[in-house]
Amino acid sequence: MISDIAMPGEDGYSLIRKITQLEASQTRTTPAIAITALPDDRWKALSMGYNAFLRKPIDLKVLVDTIAELAVHSRLSA
């Protein structure tokens, strides 16, 4: 999952909280990347359950590499 932290109506923190609550009884989790323009959100995003944090503007190569890394990691832990 790729989620902006500052979404209208529901922020990315609320979204990741709901997802982690839904997955609490499961053995697999959804890899999640937080995207935001605010550098101070890094620690909060990672502590809330996001697996990676990227700052805007997003470098496409960095995004693709991050997705690939999370895909490999989630496959290895399955």
Whether domain 2-76 has CATH 3.90.950.20: no
The neighbour count for residue 16, using CB atoms within 10 Å, is 21
* Segment 12-23, tens digit of pLDDT: 999 999 999 988
Please tell me the chain's helix, strand, coil percentages from 3-state DSSP, rounded to the nearest 5: 45, 15, 40
> 19 with 48: CB under 8 angstroms?
no
Alpha carbons 63 and 14: distance in angstroms, whole number: 22
pTM of the model: 0.86
Rounded to 5 degrees, what are φ and ψ at 39? -65, -25
* Segment 18-65, tens digit of pLDDT: 999 988 878 778 899 999 998 888 999 999 999 999 999 999 999 999
